[in-house]
Amino acid sequence: MFERIRTTCLLGSAEHEELRPTRDFLLARTHCEVAATVGQALEFVRRSSPELIVVAKPRRGGVSQADVERLRRAAPLAHLVSVVGSWCEGETRSGEPLLGTERIAWHQATGRLKAWLRTNVSANRPAPLTATPAERA
């Protein structure tokens, strides 16, 4: 039915009402560690090398660009996704969206994750930043 991502890390406010479906989906379908802080996420990332790191962002603030860079250095092959709540909808115009992450609106996250799992995750998601042009083709 679903292909499992071996390991995922969910960082941030996963208890927020808009982001609970994403959290519940990841917990049910993957080996998911929920990290409340960047320090906890880094500890898990170094120990487990997740394929996917999801940053839960119900509103502006929280995880910073520097935090994303620390995660990227710790797990260069992981795909980073930021799932943003409705309070972040204008962030690309007036705020500072997290660079180096794929931005997904909260109401699309579960569907996108289901599609990745259904169609072989690695074939349907962007290559890591470390991929060569030949590997991206």
State the architecture of 8-136 in CATH terms.
3-Layer(aba) Sandwich (3.40)
pLDDT above 60: residue 136:
no
N- to C-terminal Cα distance for the chain?
27
Q: Structure tokens of 32?
A: 């998911």
pTM: 0.80
Structure tokens at 13: 């406010």
Q: What is the pLDDT of residues 80-135, one digit of tens each?
A: 998 987 666 766 556 777 888 888 988 999 998 888 777 655 544 555 666 655 65
Looking at residue 132, its pLDDT comes to 58
pLDDT for the residue 114: 84
Report CA-CA distances (Å) from 92 to 49, 71, 84, 96. Answer: 29, 21, 11, 7
Q: What is the pLDDT of residues 3-61, one digit of tens each?
A: 555 789 999 887 788 889 999 999 998 999 999 999 999 999 999 989 899 999 867 67
Spell out the domain ranges in the chain. 8-136
Q: Which pLDDT value is given to residue 111? A: 92
The Cα 135–Cα 20 span in angstroms is 34
pLDDT for position 92: 58
CA distance 102 to 95: 16
